[in-house]
Every structure is written in C-alpha cells, then in structure tokens.
C-alpha cells in the first residue's frame, strides 16, 4: 500500500506569489488569518483524494491517466482556466475547522468527474462527498466562528493549469509536506 495519495492541480509560482500578496493586503496583523496556515508550497486544489492505494490499483489508475483519456474532448483548446475568489470554511462559518479560498472552473469540475470515473473503473470506492474545489489556507483548531471573515472581498485571481499531479502526503515535524510522484498533462 502506498499513501496517503491524492491528485491535484496547483497554481504556478507567480500565481502563488500574487495570492499571498492579495491575502496579506486583505488580512493583516490587526485581522490575521486564523489557524495553522498552509505554506504556499503546499497550496493546491485536490481533484480526487485517493488515500492508501495498493500497487495494482495504483498502476491501473496511472495507466489510465497516461492514456490522456481525461482531456479529450472535454477541453481541446489547451490549459484549464481557474479563478480563485472569496474565502469559505468547512464545515460551516460559525464552527470552522478549515479556511479555504473558493475555486471557480467548469473545466476543473469536468476533470474531477473524469478522474472520478477513472478511479471507480479501476476498483476504487466512489468518493462519498461531492467535489467542492477549494484551496486550503489554514486548519483551525479548536473550531472558531469565522462568519465575519468569509464576508471579506479580497479580490480575484485567475491562472491556468496544464497538468494534474499525483501527490503523497508526508507527515513531518511541524506539518505536512506533499511529495509529487507523477505528473499527467491535461
């Protein structure tokens, strides 16, 4: 078994830098982002959480991703456009444990649907929760009421993604590191 694994897209380095600057302007020392902040190097948008996967299933999944069946004919015109805007929380603003940036992208939703179809076709259990694209900013422990925070308009950021990455989550002292294992062009 290998894991825990997930498939994700990432903002490019310029977009990560711009996002960090935009958030710094909106949230400052007087009104900081709460919780344990995720470092920009860890910023990603999970397309499908895989968990721990046996070697055979992982090989079948990777072969399916290599065949490039995910990208045709869903978006034949190139990279996927993504827009980040607004902040939200899980499970809800008045009892938040996760603070995230919202993601808008119909092609990304279509990619997630294609990945889900592929994952279930190679024997993985269907995802139990609906796909809600987001970029995690922080984990909040204990839960807090962040209702005022989610009302803040901090701006919008657009970028494109041209690949999907298979990551392994690695626990380290003081946090988590996401190790890229394989890249699949989209």
Catalytic site positions = 44, 134
Give SS3 for 6. Answer: strand
Burial of 56 (0-12, 13-18, 19+ CB in 10 A): exposed
CA–CA distance from 75 to each of 66, 72, 83 (Å)?
17, 6, 16
How crowded is the C-beta side of 137, counted as CA atoms within 13 Å? Answer: 25
Cα gap 102→149, rounded to integer Å: 13
Q: Which helix (H) or strand (E) holds 79?
A: none
Residue 176, number of CB atoms within 10 A of its CB = 12
């Amino acid at each position: 078994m290998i894991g825990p694994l997930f498939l994700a897209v990432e903002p490019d380095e310029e977009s990560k830098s711009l996002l960090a600057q935009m958030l710094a302007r909106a949230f400052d020392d007087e009104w900081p982002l709460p919780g344990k902040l995720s470092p920009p190097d860890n910023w990603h948008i999970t397309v499908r959480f895989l968990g721990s996967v046996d070697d055979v299933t992982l090989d079948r999944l990777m072969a399916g991703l290599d065949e490039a069946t995910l990208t045709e004919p869903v978006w034949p015109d190139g990279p996927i456009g993504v827009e980040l805007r607004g902040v939200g929380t899980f499970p809800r603003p008045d009892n938040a444990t996760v603070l995230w940036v919202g993601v808008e992208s119909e092609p990304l939703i279509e990619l997630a649907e294609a990945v889900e179809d592929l994952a279930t076709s190679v024997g993985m259990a269907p995802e139990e929760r609906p796909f809600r694209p987001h970029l995690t900013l922080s984990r909040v422990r204990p839960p807090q009421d962040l209702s005022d925070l989610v009302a803040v308009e901090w701006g919008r950021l657009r970028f494109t993604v041209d690949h999907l990455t298979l990551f392994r989550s690695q626990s380290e002292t003081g946090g988590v590191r996401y190790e890229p294992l394989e890249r699949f062009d989209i």
